[in-house]
Amino acid sequence: MSQIRSAAMIVNAKSRKGQALFERACAAMRALPFPVDAHAVENPDQLEAVIDRALAKKPDLMILGGGDGTISGLVDKLVGTGTALAILPFGTANSFARTLGIPLDVEGAVAVLATGQLKRIDLGMIDGDYFANCAAIGISPQIARSVPHGLKKYLGRIGYLGWAAWEFLHFKPFTLIVGEGPDEQRIPAVEVRISNGPYHGGTALNDQAEVDNGVIVVQAVTGHVKRRLIQNWATSVLRLDARHETTVEISGTSLKLRTEPPLPISIDGEVLAKTPVTARVAAGIIQVMVPA
């Protein structure tokens, strides 16, 4: 077990059930052997200011409670500080927590803070923006950009999947171009995942992506017809070998990506970029608390 002497906790209390989960986490943390400076933030616009104030006190551990978007949005603040990261999975899909093996229940995740160990991991980058888990081109940013405010909070994963099905009807395949010049690769695609870990939307989709292998993995679901995406998701959920028949993977430390037509990119659920971009790996750049 690592020697943690102090910690801060920041919870996105506007996320689904965030306030109730914050209170449960505070109760569970009373048994921890170190003090926790706890903050529930109901206005997401204040998250960065709150983490800045918390980091000014130089805690050994920063505990972030929320979904993948909250974690990716704040992880940039930890790079270079020497403060390690811990996760309380309070989101809908919790892909990053699944990658790290963090229990998805509050008490189990808090227990990792007491008994876990620090592990150095990679972060992904889209141009200059760090991200924890996965960026996506295709239907994911289309859903993220259009999903009604509050749908995920009040209806959870079922509501989100229902909206995804609606958006799927209006979605069009595109062309992914990896690299440039005579060596560029042109790939007809229905979805692209830029992965630092295997999970996307709470489902293991990219077997080649790991948080500590020093590369970024671009996975394209190939084809000109939308049913290829349904086929890929279904075979991935069922863990069938056929899931590999619909994808191509390209890995490296830095990959130039563009699309025809130019398309938005969602970074762990938040639309924050648009092609063309450079996808990179920041190898071993941060420490995170994981189960022993």
- Distance of alpha carbon 257 from alpha carbon 135, whole angstroms: 12
From the list 201, 263, 270, the residue with the least C-alpha distance to 232 is: 201
In the predicted model, is pLDDT for residue 122 greater than 70? yes
Residue found by looking up tokens 């009373």 in the block: 30
From the list 193, 284, 267, the residue with the least C-alpha distance to 236 is: 193
Choice among 74-88, 178-192, 225-239 with the minimum mean pLDDT: 225-239
Residue ranges of domains in the chain, CATH in brackets: 7-122 (3.40.50.10330), 131-284 (2.60.200.40)
| Cβ atoms < 10 Å from Cβ of 133 | 32
Choice among 14-18, 88-92, 189-193, 204-208 with the minimum mean pLDDT: 14-18
Which pLDDT tens digit goes with each residue over 28-80? 999 999 999 999 999 989 999 999 999 999 999 999 999 999 999 999 999 99
Token readout for 211 is: 């948080």
In the predicted model, is pLDDT for residue 162 greater than 90? no
Going from the C-alpha of 64 to that of each of 11, 38, 81, 113, the distances in angstroms are 6, 10, 15, 12
Please report which helix (H) or strand (E) contains residue 247, including its range. strand 247-252
Mean pLDDT of 200-217: 93
Q: Are 142 and 259 in contact (CB under 8 A)?
A: no
**High-pLDDT (> 90) share of the chain, %:** 70
* Pairwise pLDDT comparison (139 vs 219), residue with the higher score: 219
> Given this model, what pLDDT does residue 153 score?
55
Q: Are 90 and 41 in contact (CB under 8 A)?
A: no
Average model confidence (pLDDT) across the chain? 90
Number of H helices, E strands in the chain: 8, 17
- Distance of alpha carbon 219 from alpha carbon 205, whole angstroms: 9
Provide the pLDDT confidence category of residue 239 given band limits of 50, 70 and 90: confident
What is the DSSP track for 143-209? HHHHSPTTHHHHHHHHHHHHHHHHHHTT---EEEEES-GGG-EEEEEEEEEEESSSEETTEE--TT-
Highest mean pLDDT among 41-45, 102-106, 200-204: 102-106
Q: Where are the beta strands (DSSP E) in 2-145?
A: 7-12, 36-41, 61-66, 84-89, 117-126, 129-131, 134-138
Choice among 8-17, 29-38, 184-193 with the minimum mean pLDDT: 8-17
> Given this model, what pLDDT does residue 112 score?
97
In the predicted model, is pLDDT for residue 166 greater than 80? no
In the predicted model, is pLDDT for residue 15 greater than 60? no
> Given this model, what pLDDT does residue 161 score?
63
Residue found by looking up tokens 């990179």 in the block: 280
Q: Is the peptide bond before 276 cis (omega within 30 degrees of 0)?
A: yes
- Distance of alpha carbon 25 from alpha carbon 49, whole angstroms: 22
Residue 114, classed as helix, strand or coil, is helix
Residue 40, classed as helix, strand or coil, is strand
Which pLDDT tens digit goes with each residue over 274-290? 999 999 999 999 999 99
In the predicted model, is pLDDT for residue 3 greater than 90? no
Token readout for 182 is: 């005579």
* One-letter amino acid of 32: L
Mean pLDDT of 241-265: 95
